[in-house]
Amino acid sequence: MPKKLIVQKFGGSSVANVDRIQKVAQRVVSYKKKGFNLVVVVSALGDTTDELIELANKINSSPSEREMDMLLSTGEQISVALLAMAIHKLGVEAISFTGAQVGIITDTAHTKARIIKINAEKIQEALKRDKVVIVAGFQGISLNQDITTLGRGGSDLTAVALAKELKAYECEIYTDVKGIYTTDPRIEPKAKKITKITYDEMLEMASLGAQVMQVRSIEVAKKFNVPIHVRSSFKKDPGTMIIKEVKNMEEVVVSAITLNKAGAKITVCNVFDRPGIAARIFNELADKGISVDMIVQNVSHLRQTDISFTVNKPEAHKAIKIINKLKKQVGIKDVLQDSDIARISIVGVGMKSHPGVAGKMFEVLAKARINIEMISTSDISISCIVQKKLAEKAVRALHNKFGLAK
Ligand code: ADP
Ligand code: ASP
Ligand code: MG
């Protein structure tokens, strides 16, 4: 019988130092000895990617995206080579590859490239020779032969895409927590580990700020039905399975609380309340590559209104500049920015069929004397923008009220 293939991905904190790299090597070798074929995807050591970004910004405050990819991809190249050496030391054959070497072909959208296809022959060949194959996460090569990266947290995507391509039995994501929790366990120690969660809920959680899995990796897993097992690099216990369906899932109304501090709120004040104004503002932002998240338009007074929206913090400055340029043409009185905001969300498939969830959420926030600045909803989530300094208190209060605490 052919050996079962597992794709294992180790995040930055799992390979942060020599000791941890050796521990990862031991785990990989123990699976190899159990008789599995292994493809191992690795992130850059510890905070290397952040450090490289900081370094680039010291040299040029708006570095070319092509050169940024060239720079950031080096982080993962270091970790794959070191892990291969650590596995060799344990007497097992292993070989490391960059994304380009294993044929991860992407489009040309530097810093957020999409995978177009994977030419996996090189991996297949190495597996046939019974080697552990180690692949640099987060990177590929574009149709123009340039090195690209897949967006922050992109090693998750490398792992899921390889698991799909190689028809792996499972994709294991090893990280510094024991699985997916009802909220970030660093914010709420009473958070509970979830045994099974659906792609849809995980996708919603990831989009709303639970950084434990990259959003696009879950999109791909959902599309191709790749089972994911998120678990700890440091402990043996099973973690969380991310799968298509979970029995009785609609009985749980709210399954998780998320927090996202990465946004900034922009308010365009006193614009005319007439057709075409919002289109003009948001088309201009989109043309300049700025994605907008929540949008709220207030009731108009004297045919004038305020429009507030959120963008990723690093893009706020650019967005304000664009709107300032539109001021005269569109008739905007003022533009305000608030970077001290956070988005808190409640997520759950069961919300679809249970009324009263929004009211309960707002009541919890009111009791904690937390003001809601913006609200938005989806089929399976409700989000509120609140002041950043109150956000963690809000998460804990909601986690408790919706019965998620241990
Ligand atoms: P890695 O380096 O392994 O990719 P990340 O830092 O990207 O790890 O993701 C793991 C972190 O995600 C955890 O340390 C945890 O603080 C955070 N996190 C946020 N929300 C959750 C959640 N609901 N469940 C588990 N972890 C979460
Ligand atoms: N090293 C990259 C990052 O920090 C990719 C990853 O860790 O998944 O975003
Ligand atoms: Mg990650």
12 lines ligand 2 (CB under 6 A): yes
Which residue's C-alpha comes closest to atom 7 of ligand 1? Answer: 212
Full DSSP string of 266-288: EEEEEEE-STTHHHHHHHHHHHT
Can you tell me the distance from the alpha carbon of 94 to that of 134, in angstroms, rounded to the nearest whole number?
A: 7
Report which bound ligand comes closest to the CA of 10.
Answer: 1
> Does 300 score more than 80 pLDDT?
no
In terms of pTM, does the model score above 0.75?
yes
Which ranges constitute the DSSP H helices of 3-47? 18-33
Q: CA torsion sign, 235 to 240 to 243 to 245?
A: positive
Q: Which residue out of 76, 152, 215 has the highest number of ligand 2 atoms within 8 Å of its CB and is therefore the one to mutate?
A: 152
In this predicted structure, what is the pLDDT of residue 248? 74
Q: Which residue out of 8, 155, 158 has the highest number of ligand 2 atoms within 8 Å of its CB and is therefore the one to mutate?
A: 155
Categorise residue 99: left if φ over 0, alpha if ψ from -120 to 50, beta otherwise: alpha
* DSSP code of residue 193: B
In this predicted structure, what is the pLDDT of residue 354? 86
77 lines ligand 2 (CB under 6 A): no
CA of 10 to the centre of ligand 3 (A): 9
Give percent of the chain above pLDDT 90.
Answer: 88
Report which bound ligand comes closest to the CA of 47.
Answer: 2
CA 152 to chain centre: 7
pLDDT band at 1 (very low <50, low <70, confident <90, very high): low
Residue 164 has which token pair? Answer: 């799909």
180 lines ligand 1 (CB under 6 A): yes
The answer to whether the CB of 39 falls within 8 A of the CB of 10 is no
Q: Which residue out of 184, 203, 381 has the highest number of ligand 1 atoms within 8 Å of its CB and is therefore the one to mutate?
A: 184
260 lines ligand 2 (CB under 6 A): no
Q: In the CATH scheme, what architecture does the domain 5-176 have?
A: 3-Layer(aba) Sandwich (3.40)
Q: Which residues sit with Cβ closer than 5 angstroms to ligand 3, an ion?
A: 11, 153
CA of 122 to the centre of ligand 1 (A): 32
Whole-angstrom CA distances from 392 to 189, 343, 387 are 12, 10, 10
CA of 59 to the centre of ligand 3 (A): 26
240 lines ligand 1 (CB under 6 A): no
Q: Which residue has the tokens 């509120």?
A: 384
315 Cβ neighbours under 8 A, 6+ residues apart: 290, 291
Higher pLDDT: 266 or 277? It is 266
- HSE-up (13 A, CA, CB side) for residue 397: 17
198 lines ligand 2 (CB under 6 A): no
CA of 173 to the centre of ligand 1 (A): 11
Q: Ligand 2, closest atom to CA 12?
A: 7
Q: Ligand 2, closest atom to CA 154?
A: 8
Mean pLDDT of 158-184: 97
CA of 211 to the centre of ligand 1 (A): 5
46 lines ligand 2 (CB under 6 A): no
Can you tell me the distance from the alpha carbon of 328 to that of 60, in angstroms, rounded to the nearest whole number?
A: 32
User: Alpha-carbon dihedral of residues 43, 45, 50, 52, nearest 10 degrees?
Assistant: -100
CA 5 to chain centre: 25
Give the closest residue to 291 by CA, choosing from 312, 308, 277, 306.
312
Give me the chain's average pLDDT, please.
95
Can you tell me the distance from the alpha carbon of 157 to that of 43, in angstroms, rounded to the nearest whole number?
A: 11
In this predicted structure, what is the pLDDT of residue 250? 64
CA of 54 to the centre of ligand 2 (A): 14
In this predicted structure, what is the pLDDT of residue 352? 83
Give percent of the chain above pLDDT 70.
Answer: 99
Mean pLDDT of 155-161: 98
CA of 324 to the centre of ligand 3 (A): 36
The answer to whether the CB of 312 falls within 8 A of the CB of 262 is yes
Length of the chain: 406
2-6, 141-145, 299-303, 388-392: range with lowest mean pLDDT: 299-303
For residues 277-301, one letter each, b for 16 or more C-beta atoms within 10 angstroms of the residue's C-beta and e for the rest, the string is bbeebeebbeeeebebbbebeeeee
pLDDT tens readout for residues 202-257: 999 999 999 999 999 999 999 999 999 999 999 999 999 999 988 776 678 899 99
pLDDT tens readout for residues 30-73: 999 999 999 999 999 999 999 999 999 999 988 999 999 999 99
